[in-house]
Amino acid sequence: MAGPQDLKALADRAVAEIAMCADDAALEAARVRYLGRKDSEVTRATKQIASLPTKDKPAYGAAVNEAKARIESALQSRSAALHGASIDSSLRERVDLTLPPRPVRIGRLHPVTATIRDVSRIFGTMGFETIEGPEIETDYYNFEALNIPPGHPAREKWDTLWVSNPLGDDPKVPLLGRTHTSPMQVRVMEKRKPPIRVVIPGRCYRYEATDAIHESILHQYEGLAIDEKLTMADLKGVLYSFARQIFGSKSNVRFRPDYFPFTEPSAEIAFSCVICEGKDPQCHTCGGDGWIEAAGCGMVHPDVLRRVGYDPDRYQGFAFGGGIERLAMVMSGTPDIRLFAQNDLRFLESF
| Binding footprint of Zn ion on the chain (CB under 5 A) | 273, 275-276, 283, 285-286
| Cβ proximity to Zn ion, 35 vs 275, nearer residue | 275
Cα gap 133→273, rounded to integer Å: 31
| Cβ proximity to Zn ion, 271 vs 320, nearer residue | 271
What value does the CA radius of gyration of the chain take, rounded to a whole number of Å?
Answer: 44
Which residues, in sequence order, are CB contacts of 208 under 8 Å at separation 6+?
A: 214, 215, 216
What type of residue sits at position 15? V
| Shortest separation between residue 286's beta carbon and Zn ion, angstroms | 3
| Shortest separation between residue 208's beta carbon and Zn ion, angstroms | 25
| Cβ proximity to Zn ion, 288 vs 312, nearer residue | 288
| Shortest separation between residue 259's beta carbon and Zn ion, angstroms | 26
Using the 8-state DSSP alphabet, how is residue 211 labeled?
B
| Shortest separation between residue 215's beta carbon and Zn ion, angstroms | 22
- Per DSSP, helices labelled H in the chain are 4-20, 24-35, 41-47, 57-94, 111-125, 139-142, 183-191, 232-247, 302-307, 324-332, 345-348
| Cβ proximity to Zn ion, 121 vs 279, nearer residue | 279
Cα gap 295→280, rounded to integer Å: 23
| Shortest separation between residue 280's beta carbon and Zn ion, angstroms | 6
DSSP calls for 92-120: HHH--TTSPPPPPPPP---HHHHHHHHHH
| Cβ proximity to Zn ion, 28 vs 280, nearer residue | 280
